[in-house]
Amino acid sequence: MNQKNEPSTPPAANPFFEAWTTPFGAPPFSRIKAEHFMPAYERAFAEHEAEIDAIAGQAAPPTFENTILALENAGRALQRVDDLFGQIVGTDSNDTLLAIERDISPRTAAHWNKVRMNAALFARIDALHQRRDSLGLTAEQQRVLERHHTKYRREGAALEPDKKKRLAAIIERLAALGTGFSQNVLADEQSYTMELHGEADLAGLPDFVREAAAAAAEERGMKGKHIITLQRSSVEPFLQFSSRRDLREKAFRAWVARGDNNDKTDNKANVAETIALRIERASLLGYPSFAHYRLDDAMAKTPETVRGLLEKVWKPARAAALADRDALQGLIAEEGGNFKLAAWDWRYYAEKLRVRRCDFDEAEVKPFFPLDRVIEAAFYGAEKLFGLTFHPVDVPVWHPDVRAFEVRGADGGHVGIFYGDYFARPSKHGGAWMGTLRDQEKLDGNVRPLVLNVMNFNKGEPTLLSFEDARTLFHEMGHALHGLLSNVTYPTVSCTSVLTDWVELPSQLYEHWFEQPEVLRKFARHHKTGEPISEALIAKLMAAKNFDRGCQTLEYISSALVDLELHLLQSAENLDVGAFERQTLSRIGMPEEIAMRHRPPHFTHVFSGGYYASAYYSYMWSEVLDADAFAAFEETGDIFNPDVARSLYQNVLSTGGSRDPAELYVAFRGRMPNADALLKKRGFLDASAAA
């Protein structure tokens, strides 16, 4: 942790034990050292425990104010240290921080077990819940009460003491397993590099891939060399362009084997134990499987509904992927190859097929997407839709590469702070995500949010993005807007504190604006000449938008179905995770030439914590919504239509979890959508009808 513009502090001073006087109350990162976290956690646990005891033990009958409002105000010190530690260990970890994470994860779980299983506290919440319609509560207060009741019930508050004790042990063990899983994946990603020796190993790679490989080597103290890492932004372009089939296979096998190398970082036993404990957890709470437990608190509600959606899209996507497979095998034959298409060949020959079918060359397009221009485009969309402007601001940050902006509303008023952490580095977990260092709320004054986006682009001079990279940036900005535009009173329903299969709607919806010719004409400019992207190249982009979508859809749905099927198990005795994966893929007819997007041993969405467990389908559920939601703009003939944007703000982005999401969507669109909007977006509608 690094930073600037802050006075030096005596080593004994712990910044968590004082008010932060930095601009906007931002965390003073340069003053926060690893040794500050454990004392901060210890004090925060104790403070929160005292607050909970006071709420649960009071003699006065329960009211919304003395119970629910008191819970909303409790644990602020714990929230502050936990939010900051979670983001730091994810973006700029080291051995000391990872050791703290291993220690604090089960202790945090134990603390929340004690809170959520407090019988006296739940009795107060339950009494209020039973009288909820006679309490004179606002709609938001009703929702806050309901969410507290649901959370406590689902965490075992109503169980008998012996079952509570066992459930607490399960939750603590799951927390330790999740941390170990995540750290194992990170260790595999950090330890692997494939060095490219000379022009023979660089064959086929365009300049931007070579430059990224050189930058990755220099960052690891190997200046003058080229390496491929297991970051998606490194390995996928290599698989797409390298003409060295042997090296593609080597890189691919290392990539898909993260967490599955039968060594100290192998995650298969971790997955099996996690599944077993989740089965037991669900059973204690009265559910037939963990999937039933998890989905009971989601829009989808049942595993049958989830499977129905995934299978409806699977059939036309598989037909499209098989047709593409045959075309790729034809390209191999044309070149005189006498081998069968393999998973490490797909991206390479798909790129050739894309050039042939769409006259589209990634190397031709990428110079028009320098990172700074794509960021500017994302900010432009936020301004056109919601009146937000982004102004560079000098606040402390956790790494020199991080950028910070003050976000202001149409009236010039302060909305929040936005941090962008865009570049891959060895100390950072892979992938892309949005997080918060502080959520919006109105209980403790008009608290404005501190929102961050994290990505893993290959750093360059300048950094050039692929079309998919740019779409990822817009996706995370959609999440950020959900956090920045939150306008609720209570922390429990603030920002992205919503049901899992609703949370991806704002992010996936915002991706649409990057794909619009109106936006591309304005912001896609050549990084050297400043020349705007040509109409011909925009036409190629639009034509290629759904190219290879069959393969991409199968990569995703296969991961979602394996996730669902694992969590529908009612026994994990002798579970062989690899065999289960193979059997499930065989049953659904997964082409062997296509790999899952996330195999179980490195599926951090599902096994580094429980948020997406049996809920990875959420991206597709939200895509049904986002495809239909963007049509609301298209139907007006104006992709920035102010009336539709205002409704989107009022009914989706500002509301957090303060209302039922189905109610919110109907308020925005007038009805619920069906899967046809998604099939049309992905180019499968005709195939579906034919099927």
Q: What's the rounded Cα separation, in Å, for the pair 484 and 406? A: 11
Three-state DSSP at 451 gives strand
Please check whether residue 67 is in contact with residue 55, taking contact to mean a CB–CB distance below 8 angstroms: yes
Residue type, 184: N
- Work out the number of other CB atoms within 10 angstroms of the CB of residue 643: 11
Q: Which residues pair with 438 in a beta bridge?
A: 450
Q: What is the DSSP letter of 298?
A: S
Ramachandran bin of 589, using left for φ above 0, alpha for ψ from -120 to 50, beta for the remaining angles: left
Burial code of 342-351, b = ≥16 C-beta within 10 A, e = fewer?
Answer: ebbbbbbbbb
Which token pair is 183? 């750290």
Q: Catalytic residue positions?
A: 476
Q: What's the rounded Cα separation, in Å, for the pair 209 and 202? A: 9
Please compute, for residue 100, the number of CA atoms within 13 A of its CA located in the half-sphere on the CB side.
Answer: 22
Paired sense of beta strands 414-423 and 450-457, if any = parallel
Q: Which of 282, 11, 331, 34 is nearest to 156 (CA)?
A: 282
Which token pair is 66? 């003395």
Q: What's the rounded Cα separation, in Å, for the pair 566 and 560? A: 10
Decide: residue 535, CB within 10 A, 0-12 exposed, 13-18 middle, 19+ buried: exposed
Tallying the residues shown for the chain, one arrives at 691
Three-state DSSP at 619 gives helix
Q: What's the rounded Cα separation, in Å, for the pair 209 and 241? A: 9
Please check whether residue 670 is in contact with residue 682, taking contact to mean a CB–CB distance below 8 angstroms: no
Angle, CA of 340, 341 and 342, to the nearest 5°: 110
Q: What is the DSSP letter of 128?
A: H
Three-state DSSP at 457 gives strand
Three-state DSSP at 391 gives strand
Q: What's the rounded Cα separation, in Å, for the pair 40 and 18? A: 11
The continuous run of DSSP H or E covering 419 comes out as strand 414-423
Q: What's the rounded Cα separation, in Å, for the pair 605 and 244? A: 32
Please compute, for residue 446, the number of CA atoms within 13 A of its CA located in the half-sphere on the CB side.
Answer: 6
* SS (HEC) of 492-515: HHCCCCCCHHHHHHHHHHHHHHHC
Residue with tokens 């949005």: 434
Q: What's the rounded Cα separation, in Å, for the pair 64 and 490? A: 12
